[in-house]
Amino acid sequence: MTKNDEKRVQKAILNADSRKKCLLLVNDIVEGSLRGTPLLTESQVSDIKRSITATASFDAKRNYVISDEQRAYAAMLDAMHLLSFCLLDVQAEYLDAKAELASVRGLFALVHEYQNFNELLNELCWTKSGTYNAKLQERAVSIGQRIPYFYNMSLKEKEDDMRVIDFKLPLEASSAIFDAIERVKQKSTRLKTLIQAMRDVMSQKQTPISAIIERIDKFEEEISELIRMTKTILYRTDLEGWEELRATLVETASPKLAMMEALPDYDDLSVDQAVYEETRFLLKQESPLTFNLR
């Protein structure tokens, strides 16, 4: 921390009410833990802690009376610990979602290569007379179906009475793709649910912890962008003419379109209500210390 930063923080401390001072201490702890760069100096931490301790009093019988400020600080410490533990779960779900998305990207790339190969085979069989060479088509399909390839290939009739080579993924590969997409949906949904619960608890308890908020923002932004980039392997929906192309793909029951649309955008995922309620319940628990300070 530079001298100017230290002066700015010191000014903020002087002008802050008791609750904001407690929040500064909590944010200082998390900043030091997650980034290794505390917000406050040791002297500033000591000053704030002394000011919070000074809010306590003694009753007529000289019993120590806990202040509202001390209760607020204890509640914030509880929230900080619970949110920090939840952040570990969020990070695990984030890493799992990334791994599953990497698998889907590889499978989508395979689908894209299959389509390119299919188009290449048909182009090679196209003749100058504006028709396909039927013998060459049959030979290509025959070779592709034999050992060692065992490609899922056939000749398909078109509307203009021409036949084209139809080169498809093996059935087990298509099934594997949709299974992988489902795993991405499950991991991303759980990630979104945990994060939403954390945001809501921080808001309800009025305990915004900057380092945690920035970390979960980063997780969501990265997964959202990875999903978007994964889908573009199959189709660029941002290009002009996409809606017309999509209408054609729907008419022909395009497997590629079905795969792409089976992978929802991150923003379109719904929160898992059961997981959300369970997470909020856990995040709102009190430690024995906070309970006894009531």
Report the pLDDT averaged over residues 114-137: 83
The CA distance from 190 to 261, in Å, is: 20
Say whether pLDDT at 291 is over 60: no
**How do strand 163-168 and strand 57-58 relate by DSSP bridges?**
unpaired
Write down the pLDDT at residue 64. 73
Q: Are residues 184 and 48 in the same domain?
A: no
Say whether pLDDT at 15 is over 70: no
Q: Are residues 181 and 42 in the same domain?
A: no
Q: Are residues 197 and 283 in the same domain?
A: yes
Q: Does any domain span residue 223?
A: yes
Residue environment code for 26-63, b if the CB has 16+ CB neighbours within 10 A, otherwise e? bbbbbbeebeeebbbeeebbebbeeebeeeeeeeeeee
Q: Does any domain span residue 179?
A: yes
Write down the pLDDT at residue 194. 98
Q: Which residue has the higher pLDDT, 168 or 46?
A: 46
- Single-letter amino acid code for the residue at 281: F
Q: Does any domain span residue 150?
A: no
Assign 189 a pLDDT band (cuts: 50, 70, 90): very high
Report the pLDDT averaged over residues 104-121: 86
Write down the pLDDT at residue 274. 97
Write down the pLDDT at residue 149. 65
Q: Are residues 68 and 190 in the same domain?
A: no
Write down the pLDDT at residue 259. 92
Say whether pLDDT at 1 is over 60: no
Q: Does any domain span residue 273?
A: yes
Q: Are residues 25 and 93 in the same domain?
A: no
Q: Are residues 212 and 268 in the same domain?
A: yes
Q: Among 104-113, 124-133, 273-282, which is the least confidently predicted range? A: 124-133
Size (the chain), residues: 294
Q: Are residues 97 and 8 in the same domain?
A: no
Residue 249: which domain range? 81-130+168-292
**Last residue of one domain, picked from the residues 76, 91, 120:** 76
Contact between 212 and 83 (Cβ < 8 Å): yes
Write down the pLDDT at residue 265. 96
Write down the pLDDT at residue 52. 81
Assign 143 a pLDDT band (cuts: 50, 70, 90): confident
Q: What is the DSSP string of the chain?
A: --HHHHHHHHHHHHH--HHHHHHHHHHHHHHHHHTS--SS-HHHHHHHHHHHHTT-EE-TT--EE--HHHHHHHHHHHHHHHHHHHHHHHHHHHHHHHHHHHHHHHHHHHHHHHHHHHHHHHHHTB-TTSSB-HHHHHHHHHHHHSTTT--EEEEEE-TTS-EEEEEE--HHHHHHHHHHHHHHHHHHHHHHHHHHHHHHHHHHTT---HHHHHHHHHHHHHHHHHHHHHHHTT--TTSTTHHHHHHHHHHTT-HHHHHHHHS--GGGPPP-HHHHHHHHHHHT---HHHHHT-
Average pLDDT, the chain: 86
If one counts the domains in the chain, the total is 2
Q: Are residues 124 and 198 in the same domain?
A: yes
Q: Are residues 91 and 207 in the same domain?
A: yes
Assign 40 a pLDDT band (cuts: 50, 70, 90): confident
Q: Does any domain span residue 160?
A: no
Q: Does any domain span residue 162?
A: no
Write down the pLDDT at residue 173. 79
What is the pTM (predicted TM-score) of this model? 0.82
Write down the pLDDT at residue 105. 94
Q: Are residues 204 and 287 in the same domain?
A: yes
Q: Among 88-97, 225-234, 238-247, which is the least confidently predicted range? A: 238-247
Write down the pLDDT at residue 6. 63
Report the pLDDT averaged over residues 260-285: 95
Write down the pLDDT at residue 9. 67
- Single-letter amino acid code for the residue at 22: C
Write down the pLDDT at residue 228. 95
**Last residue of one domain, picked from the residues 35, 61, 76:** 76
Q: Are residues 175 and 234 in the same domain?
A: yes
Q: Among 2-16, 24-38, 180-194, 259-273, which is the least confidently predicted range? A: 2-16
